[in-house]
Structure 1
Amino acid sequence: MVTKCEVCTLLEKKYKCPTCNILYCSVACFKTHIDNCIPSVKSTEDPHVESSSTSGVHKFQTAETVPVDQLQLLRKSEALKELLRNPHLQEFLKTIDSSENPPRLMRKAMQEPLFIEFVDECLKVIEPTGIQLTDEQVLAAIQEDIENQE
């Protein structure tokens, strides 16, 4: 069986990212990937390997911080991968990430059906048995967080 590129999903993989081990086929796919590259979590079964809790992945933990092992589940979600193939969503996420004031852009983001679908899919993976909130409840919670940050 041929293993496909995890970025474009069209061509056969040729390379592996040294940071996160994602498989890719070309320089173009690597450049697309590297902006959103997340270091892979090293196995804690090996006593010589640093654990994720001390590896600096979460510099500023809060009560809402999602554990690294749960975040790694996002990478396995086919529905999430499909959503992330959408160029509009990719640009939207890049804009939010590179913004000087991401909370302000989140207000706009939560009015975009595609972004809400993305957030819902992330939540399904992170908290599969979690409480199902309506879009209005999610928007109200984000609005409250934004107001608390400002």
Structure 2
Amino acid sequence: MEIRRVTRAEDVQAAGHLFDSPPLPEATARFLADDRHHLLVAYVDDAPAALVTGVETTRPDRGTEMFLHELGVDARFIGRGIGPALTTALADLARDLGCHGMWVVADADNPATRSVYRCAGGTAQSGAREVLVWSFDDTGTAPF
């Protein structure tokens, strides 16, 4: 397995099956043009097997942190340690960029995903959380 930082639209399209939906050309261009957006892809035998996206966010009171936005692993590669490896690679990138931390929202009813993040060094914070979303298109689906 090899993890690469993806910066070309062609490589995003080649890994398109790993996203929730096929990548949109305009959104891909906008994502790649922003230095605060990061896409790492794990390749097995030179084929995209998994990806992780991260977005640097900055708050006046806390500084910059990395938000792990999405982790996608091809079903054929689940259970091989690729998810934790990608998560760790994003955390390493965040450290290199000077982020003070990294965070992700993981559903309580998805123990496999939570296990991946714990395996990569994440710690759960206590307390009940809920994710509230605003959808600004006619699909009515969550934006993530």
**TM range, smaller chain:** under 0.3
Structure with greater proportional helix content = 1
Whichever of the two has the greater Rg, that structure is 1
Task: Compute the TM-score of the two structures, normalised by the length of structure 2.
Answer: 0.25
Structure with greater proportional strand content = 2
Task: Compute the TM-score of the two structures, normalised by the length of structure 1.
Answer: 0.25
More relative contact order, 1 or 2 (CA 8 Å, 6+ apart): 2
